[in-house]
Amino acid sequence: MFEPESPVLAPRVWEVGALCRAVADALQARFNPVAVRGEITGFMRASSGHCYFSIKDAQGQIRCAMFKRAAGLLDFTPRDGELVELRGRLGVYEQRGDLQLIVESLQRAGQGALFEQFLRLKAQLEAEGLFDAGRKRPLPTMPRGIGLVTSPGAAALHDVATALRRRVPHIPVVLAPALVQGAQAPTSLCEALSKLYLLAQSGKGLEAEMAAKSDTPPIDVILLVRGGGSMEDLWAFNDAQLARTIVQSPVPVVSGVGHETDFTIADFCADLRAPTPTAAAELVAQPRDLWLGALQLLAQRLDDGVQRQIDLRHQRLDSAAQRLGRPSGIVARQELQLARLAQRMRHGVLLKVQRLAQTQQALQAHLPQTLQRSLMGQAQRLERAALRLELLDPRLVLQRGYALLADTEGRSVTSVAQARPGAPLRATLADGVLDLTVVPPRLV
């Protein structure tokens, strides 16, 4: 038979709200303020600016609320799966009776040491010139092939493949699988990139022969992608050797690592950074419909231009046909012009004949007198010349007793030195020629 308990031992009957407040007071006195380390799950930012999520580990889970004022102080965007450290106050949400943690500050777990290491490496590589903007190359407008470096089992592969299949299904994609997380990931990423570099150089030397023997297309651009995660998850992309391998690429490299707020060393070395893997795929893949539309527009412009030229030629042909419509009129005008020219020619010939007759008559009237005066003048000049010539005749000199001496060859002898003793000479006198012989001079 049931017997009621003693009033002394009976528990206190609480009002629900009072019990919640009592539990909250106990938590406040026992734990607060509290610091917790765990993984974010179910993160949501409300339109009011407040953030709601849970923090968990392998053993448990606690609901968290971060009000707008504290959320506004964050320097990153929290995401599911991210390991964080937070500080706040444990309490009870009385409307549901749920245990919750009011978060006052939030930071990535271990961010301090890793971030300092990241900054040191970034400064070192920047000093080496690996981030220079002048080294960055524009992306190809229409790549012949796209290289892809990521993990075969990653969600990023599915996102990139879906975007490329939707936008450019005609462009081949070559996957170079690699680890994207862990200690071996940087080496794996470098090896995958190096394999794609051979295809990217398929237009040169030995690499061309290798590409020709295989059925793989030449690579014009390379995508280096990975999905989101914590700073530790993405740390493989903050490697110095990977950075130097990226800048050695013969073709542009697009990095799509993590989410929009994530930055890695690979992003600074790549020719272009995309906020997500899907965005990286879209940057190198202009939609096929866009190109088809552009081709249709060009075809329409070409058709319009050809039609305009045809219309212009028709117009010119019509104008020419109008001018040639009555050839008899053109012939009549040409005949009239020819008649005028013939009349001018006949008039010119008659005028020339008249002027020639007048010139002939004038010559016949004045020629005897002019000719007589000319002959008399020529005779007088001839007489004067004959007189001067006669005065120069050497025979007149010979008639005065002089002789002209010459040797046997006809050279004139004008000096004693030219007459050697015994040499024959010829003396020309006024009435004949004498042959002489030179005798030695007599001594007195």
What CATH number does residue 53 fall under?
A: 2.40.50.140
3-state class (DSSP) for residue 367: helix
Same domain for 94 and 192, yes or no, is no
The Cα 36–Cα 215 span in angstroms is: 55
pLDDT higher than 60, residue 203: no
Number of Cβ atoms within 10 Å of the Cβ of 160: 28
At residue 2, the pLDDT reads 44
Same domain for 239 and 213, yes or no, is yes
Same domain for 240 and 144, yes or no, is yes
Alpha helices in 219-287 (DSSP H): 240-247, 265-269, 277-283
> Residue 54 is part of which domain span?
16-109
Same domain for 191 and 250, yes or no, is yes
**Parallel, antiparallel, or unpaired for β 221-226 and 146-150?**
parallel
Q: What is the pLDDT of residues 110-126, one digit of tens each?
A: 655 677 788 889 999 99
Same domain for 242 and 144, yes or no, is yes
Same domain for 132 and 222, yes or no, is yes
Same domain for 93 and 75, yes or no, is yes
Amino acid at 390: E
The Cα 229–Cα 114 span in angstroms is: 14
Q: What is the pLDDT of residues 21-78, one digit of tens each?
A: 777 777 776 667 888 888 888 899 999 889 999 988 888 888 999 998 988 888 788 8
Q: 33 versus 327: which is more confidently predicted?
A: 33
pLDDT higher than 50, residue 1: no
Average pLDDT taken over every residue of the chain: 81
Q: What is the mean pLDDT of residues 419-443?
A: 80
Residue 156 in domain: yes
> Are 49 and 71 a contacting pair, CB within 8 Å?
yes
Q: DSSP for 161-229?
A: HHHHHHH-TTS-EEEEE---SSTTHHHHHHHHHHHHHHHHTTTSHHHHHHHHHS-PPPPSEEEEEE---
Give Cβ neighbours of residue 244 (< 8 Å, ≥ 6 apart).
130
Same domain for 185 and 293, yes or no, is no
Q: What is the mean pLDDT of residues 403-430?
A: 80
At residue 210, the pLDDT reads 46
Name the band, by pLDDT with cuts 50, 70 and 90, for residue 208: very low
Q: What is the pLDDT of residues 247-267, one digit of tens each?
A: 999 999 999 998 887 889 999
Q: What is the pLDDT of residues 396-415, one digit of tens each?
A: 766 777 787 888 887 888 88
Question: What is the 8-class DSSP label of residue 45?
Answer: E
Give Cβ neighbours of residue 163 (< 8 Å, ≥ 6 apart).
278, 281, 282, 285
Residue 10 in domain: no
Distances (CA, A) of 349 to 274, 329, 358, 363: 96, 31, 14, 21
At residue 256, the pLDDT reads 92
Same domain for 240 and 299, yes or no, is no
| Predicted structure pTM score | 0.47
Residue 91 has which token pair? Answer: 């309490």
> Are 322 and 315 a contacting pair, CB within 8 Å?
no
Q: What is the pLDDT of residues 145-185, one digit of tens each?
A: 999 999 998 889 999 999 999 988 888 999 999 999 989 99
Overall domain count for the chain: 4
Compute, in degrees rounded to 10, the torsion defined by CA atoms 321, 324, 325, 328. -170
Name the band, by pLDDT with cuts 50, 70 and 90, for residue 214: low
